[in-house]
Amino acid sequence: MSKALNIIKDRALTYRQKVINLAREAENSINVLNINKEVQEYRDEGIICDLFEGNAPYRPRYIVPDYEKFMENGSEFLGLNPPKNIWEAVNNLLILYKHVPSITSFPVYIGNIDYLLEPFINDEEEAYKAIKIFLTHIDRTITDSFCHGNIGPEETKAGRLILRAEKELQNSIPNITLKYSTATSDDFALEAINTALVIAKPSFANHEMFKEEFGEKYGIVSCYNGLPIGGGSYTLVRLNLAGLAKKAKDEEDFLNNVLPDAVKRMISYIDERVRFLVDESGFFESSFLVSEGLICRDNFTAMFGMFGLAECVNHFINSERQVDRFGHSVRANDLGHTIISSLEKEVNKYNNPYCKFSEGKYLLHAQVGIDTDYCISPGCRIPIGEEPEIHEHIIQAARFHKFFPSGVGDIFNFDSTVKNNPQYILDIIKGAFSHKMRYFSLYSTDCDVIRITGYLVKRSEMEKLDSGKQVLRDTVILGLGAVKNSRILERKVRKND
Amino acid sequence: MSVLHNPETINICNNCAACIKSCPYNALNKNYDKVIWNKNACRNCDKCLKVCPSNSSPKTRAMSVEDVVREINKVKAFISGITVSGGECTLQHEFVTALFKEVKKMGLTTFLDTNGFIPLWDKKELICVMDMAMIDVKSYDLKEHIWLTGKGNKNVLENVRYLSSIKKLYEVRTVIVPEILDNYYNVDKINKLIVSLNQDIRYKIIKYRPLGVRTELLESCVPSDEMMNELLKIANKNGCKNVIVV
């Protein structure tokens, strides 16, 4: 029990962080999953990793409640009537958020918050006060940056007020995505860009692309994961392509033997996690979210994550010359494309009847990495420090985006002088989406809030933690680790010159 | 000799080769009588520009309209248009006209960034394919303008009036150089001129920054924020609706 005792005595953890860590410790003290030798071998080597989901899945990793339904019906279990005004609306939502489980125990999706609040906006200044209280409450109580709200695609009064409040409050939580499409006005998109240049959010999601795959009812949750509303994802397990590459004799061996075998091991592990959660944990038989129809098992799927494509490709390319490497040479980029196509093909060979929403298939996810990854790039991203010019970067990255409905994205760091010309960025986003880029994040060199890999953290809070002080938000710990191990602060600066 | 910034853009390289020895990265060589610049070896330390006796740069290459169009095509999806600047791009107005014609076909906008010295009112072909222009008005005072640039400002002001009359004046800029120029007078007068033409034309007041400037010829400093604010107030008071300070 020394680990539990260490948590109890840790002076850098808040009370709440201790409770969550102790719960994790308790879960991990039992072994209920049937994990075969091959899977365990890859887990031990860090090639298969479940991202700290715990030993006994008792709640889905990503829950995407149907908040529209909640606003219409209220909740019997929570004893809430449908809201009649803006104050009741934000209060009801804030109450429900406390009851949406996840791996971190904080909700990863809080709804299309502009559309949810729009019907209650009469007096705009009163609504602005309510929205500021709403957002501040979220930032101080859902102390985890994987909490994600959506706005758009259409401009609303509520959407404008949310952007205005975010700019004023400068909170790192919640993460926000603008679902962007031709239905989004340029004016609203420019306001979103102006906001992102101050607080690194919202990011832009290619609404047309997501709509084709999920229909209108999808949410962007956690880092940037596209998932169906009224459902979500049971689990996310990731495959380390950088580590896996070293097991192969050559490219051919990798594509023909090592990769298919690794996919088989991954699927067996994901299947087992889904089995325990659905068949044994009793979650779907006991949660009021299910009985009140806010989520339904039929809308769930599971995510097959990958990361380290760049290092995997560069392992086979075996050249230190920048022009030959991933992100730069045609050969390296094509090899990356071949690997991801093969991965998709292999994953689609399997079927899990509990993933009804995705017709038995697991959805691919370009995982953004964790704080302890050392020099392995997120998903299919080009390594920091090796980024090409932005137009080449976008065209290269966009080739991979179509494979990952449940999440992929790139981050661009703009020089602060760009604030004078937000149209420059809107032109880039329009171009990127016409090239089928799925998800575009931006921030500016002088923001305190910055995007680490998918989530947001304040530089000032990382400095505080680094000096041994407590911080309210748990993701600051992850951010600091990523900054130290993955050169997050050295992203190429993009200028309009 | 001009004291203005980027003096290397004044003349075309005469292949005197004085720069070759100055390069610490061996990026400059002589091939027959020509100075050859190796872009990949160059680290942009600009030592070659400092030693150039003729206000020129070895870091250039000749491009045809097709060459430029090929470069634009690579970024076409990510931009709404192009701006041609310099040096002074109107010195090559025939090239710019040919380029703009091609760029218009690509569905992009065409902007010109000029010091306004060359008359534009008689360049009908260029004006026809140019969407908008940005003009530097460095000084409103004739003598000061001559002292600073070696040329008068009559054409500059006439171009401002002309472009405004055909609704193709996007922006006028003035660089603020403390101790050297009569900045308050200039901003006030230039701004009044703009307001008399069209108060929606953007007026940009730019802080002098000693980058790419021959500091031995121009002893100035970056203007303070207070000074820039005072100038902004003058422009606003004159009724200019679109003033920005950078």
State the Cα–Cα distance between residues A53 and A302, nearest whole angstrom: 13
The structure tokens listed for B202 are: 């953007």
Q: With contacts defined as CB-CB under 8 Å, which chain A residues touch B246?
A: 417, 420
Q: Across the interface, do B80 and A428 touch by the CB < 8 Å criterion?
A: no
Q: Across the interface, do B246 and A420 touch by the CB < 8 Å criterion?
A: yes
Q: Across the interface, do B80 and A423 touch by the CB < 8 Å criterion?
A: yes
State the Cα–Cα distance between residues A266 and A272, nearest whole angstrom: 10
The model's pTM is 0.88
A420, A427, A435: residue with CB nearest B79: A427
Q: Across the interface, do B80 and A431 touch by the CB < 8 Å criterion?
A: no
State the Cα–Cα distance between residues A9 and A18, nearest whole angstrom: 9
* DSSP sequence for A154-223: S--HHHHHHHHHHHHH----SEEEEEESTTS-HHHHHHHHHHHHHHS--EEEEHHHHHHHH-S-EEEETT
State the Cα–Cα distance between residues A164 and A159, nearest whole angstrom: 9
Q: Across the interface, do A394 and B74 touch by the CB < 8 Å criterion?
A: no
Q: Across the interface, do B77 and A390 touch by the CB < 8 Å criterion?
A: no
Residue A109 backbone class (left: φ over 0; alpha: ψ -120 to 50; beta: rest): beta
Residues 6+ apart with CB under 8 A from A136: A169, A171
State the Cα–Cα distance between residues A422 and A416, nearest whole angstrom: 11
B77 CB near a chain A CB, below 8 Å? yes
B-chain residue closest to A394, CA distance: B78
pLDDT in tens, chain A (497 residues): 589 999 999 998 999 999 999 999 999 999 999 999 999 999 999 999 999 999 999 999 999 999 999 999 999 999 999 999 999 999 999 999 999 999 999 999 999 999 999 999 999 999 999 999 999 999 999 998 899 999 999 999 999 999 999 999 999 999 999 999 999 999 999 999 999 999 999 999 999 999 999 999 999 999 999 999 999 999 999 999 999 999 999 999 999 999 999 999 999 999 999 999 999 999 999 999 999 999 999 999 999 999 999 999 999 999 999 999 999 999 999 999 999 999 999 999 999 999 999 999 999 999 998 888 888 999 999 999 999 999 999 999 999 999 999 999 999 999 998 998 999 999 999 999 999 999 999 999 888 988 888 888 999 999 998 888 888 888 888 888 888 888 888 888 888 76
Q: Across the interface, do B78 and A391 touch by the CB < 8 Å criterion?
A: yes
Q: Across the interface, do B78 and A394 touch by the CB < 8 Å criterion?
A: yes
ipTM above 0.85, yes or no: no
The shortest C-alpha distance from B126 to chain A (Å) reads 24
Q: Across the interface, do A432 and B78 touch by the CB < 8 Å criterion?
A: yes
A417, A420, A428: residue with CB nearest B78: A428
The shortest C-alpha distance from A430 to chain B (Å) reads 7
CA nearest to A236, candidates A18, A412, A454: A454
Could you give the angle at the alpha carbon of A449 between the alpha carbons of A445 and A450, nearest 5°? 60
State the Cα–Cα distance between residues A416 and A412, nearest whole angstrom: 12
Which positions in chain A have a beta carbon within 8 angstroms of at least one beta carbon in chain B?
A: 390-392, 394, 417, 420, 423, 427-428, 430-432, 434-435
